[in-house]
Structure 1
Amino acid sequence: MTDADWQARLDALWARLDAMGREEFVAAMKELAAERGPDDPVALFEIGGAHDSTGFTEQAVGYYERAIAAGLDGVRRRRVVIQMASSLRETGHPERALAMLGVERANGSDAYDDALAMCEALTLAKLGREREGLSVALVALAPHLPRYQRSTVNYARGLIGREPL
């Protein structure tokens, strides 16, 4: 089995998520992940994601923590932070989620910046800091607008009492 073969089967399993029952999907993911071994960070991440995507959010956090501890890297490392922060937010730990997101944001920029901002905005809202959350969301949206980028960022900054650019 090559990594590419395993990834293709993983992709095929994720494509069937909506056609499968919750427990059936998690069981299938555990079976596929077992091929990589019990401490494989990618396998742990994918099992966590399977739990998360099927409503077993609290169980997902443990798998995500284990994946990080096992050395998950690359794009999945960024994704695990976003997914775990989302899970923490929804299971009553938004402060921990916000702290994780702040650390991750300081790690640099990549294609997941907007997803990170989305998670941060929702977490701020969960904490009752809706204006800050809206500001984060608007700043993330601004580069995607055909015009009004600077205005959008300035309005977003104004929401939280910052001076315009």
Structure 2
Amino acid sequence: MSSWEDRVAEFWNTADDTDPDVVDRMRALVDERPADDAAALFEWASVLDFVGREHDAVPQYRAALAAGLDSERMPQAVVQLASSLRNIGRADEGAELLRDLGDETIAGAAAAAFLALCLRDAERPDEALAVALRALAPTLPMYGRAVTAYADELAGPQPA
């Protein structure tokens, strides 16, 4: 029999948000774990988010974070929680979470992308553009320094 983690990975490899059984299939996996299992709480939040139930996902993400997620799932949970908060009209709160996340690398530039989206929805477009440009700058071998300078002009220098 496959491990729980393998079965969760397989679930996500085949998940379809139009499948009427997708939530029930994840519920069956989650029910295999203790009620306070951080990974199970995260996966439950993720499937609720996946099917557009962000209001229901938010408290589950918070419970997963409070339960102590591992170093791989924790940054994903923060990014996904921030995105859900943005989708339910709490973009400022999402932006704050993403700023607190710092420079973790598991989610790559996703944190910056979702921070830019949160800032835009929070009516801070110059700051949003600066975040996006700073995330893009390292990929520009010829113009990275110039793009970073323009980002600094838009929102001021990044804190060290």
When normalised by structure 2's length, the TM-score is 0.90
Deviating more after overlay: 153-162 vs 95-104: 153-162
> Contact (CA 8 Å) 2:16, 2:22: kept in 1 or not?
no
1:9 to partner: Cα distance: 0.9
1:157 aligns with 2:155: no
Compared CA separation, residues 128 and 10, structure 1 to 2 (3 A):
same
Compared CA separation, residues 161 and 39, structure 1 to 2 (3 A):
closer
1:19 to partner: Cα distance: 7.1
- Among 22, 26, 31, the alignment partner of 2:23 is 26
Separation in 2 of the partners of 1:20 and 1:90? Answer: 19
Separation in 2 of the partners of 1:120 and 1:139? Answer: 12
Give the match's secondary structure for 1:157.
Answer: helix
> Structure 2 regions of 5+ residues with no counterpart?
none
Paired residue for 1:43?
A: 40
Q: Which runs of 4+ in 1 moved over 6 A?
A: none
Letter in 1 for 2:51: T
Superposition RMSD in Å: 1.9
Structure with bigger helix share is 1
Compared CA separation, residues 10 and 20, structure 1 to 2 (3 A):
farther
> Contact (CA 8 Å) 2:42, 2:64: kept in 1 or not?
yes
When normalised by structure 1's length, the TM-score is 0.87
Separation in 2 of the partners of 1:145 and 1:117? Answer: 16
Separation in 1 of the partners of 2:120 and 2:44? Answer: 28
Separation in 2 of the partners of 1:26 and 1:6? Answer: 17
- Among 106, 111, 115, the alignment partner of 1:111 is 106
Paired residue for 1:79?
A: 76
Separation in 1 of the partners of 2:43 and 2:31? Answer: 11
For 1:2-151, list aligned pairs within 5 A: 5-18=3-16, 21=19, 23-105=20-102, 108-151=103-146
Deviating more after overlay: 4-13 vs 28-37: 4-13
Give the aligned length: 158
Deviations 1:88-137 (A, max 9, x none): 111111121122112212xx432324111111100000011111101101
